[in-house]
Homo-oligomer: A and B are copies of this chain.
Amino acid sequence: MEKTIPGIIVGRLPIYLQALQHLHQQQVQTTSSQELGQIIGISAAQIRKDLSQFGEFGKQGKGYSVPYLIDQLQAILHVDRVWDMVLVGAGNLGHAIAEYPEFVHHGFRISMIFDNDPKRIGTKMGDFVVQDMEKLVPLVQQAGIKVAMLTVPARAAQAVTDDLVSAGIRAILNYAPIILSVPEGIQVQYIDPIIFLQRMTYYLD
């Protein structure tokens, strides 16, 4: 079943999950597609249609149970477990990400950090010692890590990606402003502030 759901719908599920967790923190037990839609800025009809692709999560006229829908979405997104991650690039952005406190509550945990700069290798970053890029392939392979975050300069990103793929990484969150080429079956997501800024300036004059 999972194979047939359009990526655009899958892409909205983490946003629904985030809004539900926001409600849960505020002790809200029951919600509706209308309320979720207002928080997120998506129509209630779209939310109902998206969720219906995965099953029946609410009762007609009764809305959704917040904790139940959180559990269901976490299972669908495979974040009802904790994924170990490798972070490559120990600059300012890498530091900021390593300090990000929210990962572990949402299914992720950084477990190794690499850089190729001799000045950074061996230094502490949060709870980790920055390791030499040269050791990435064997260490990541041995640990069986599947998820990577890439915060290296654009010029280095493709070579690091090739190493990550050969180490068995299957999902890469890329902060470098460059389109990566990866074999089929490897997931890549891009975080580029320019994309998000341009989505807003469209509406400004």
Q: A202 and B78: CB pair below 8 A?
A: yes
Whether B108 contacts A197 by the Cβ 8 Å rule is yes
Q: Which of B22, B99, B102, B201 contacts A171 (CB 8 A)?
A: B201
CB 8 Å contact bits of A145-173 with B (1 = contact, 0 = none): 01101010000000000000000001101
B197 close to A39 (CB less than 8 A): no
Chain B residues, CB < 8 A from A79 = 198, 201
Considering the complex, give the chain B residue whose CB is closest to the CB of A203: B187
Whether the Cβ atoms of B95 and A197 lie closer than 8 Å is: no
From known contacts A92-B92, A193-B173, infer whether A17 and B200 are also in contact, taking CB-CB under 8 Å. no
Is A199 on the interface with B (CB-CB < 8 A)? Answer: yes
Q: Is the CB of B96 within 8 A of A92?
A: yes
Q: Would A200 and B179 count as touching, CB distance under 8 A?
A: no
Task: Report B-chain residues with C-beta under 8 Å of the C-beta of A179.
Answer: 18-19, 22, 39-40
New A-B contacts (6) at CB < 8 Å, excluding given A14-B195, A189-B197: A2-B202, A92-B96, A93-B93, A102-B177, A108-B194, A188-B200
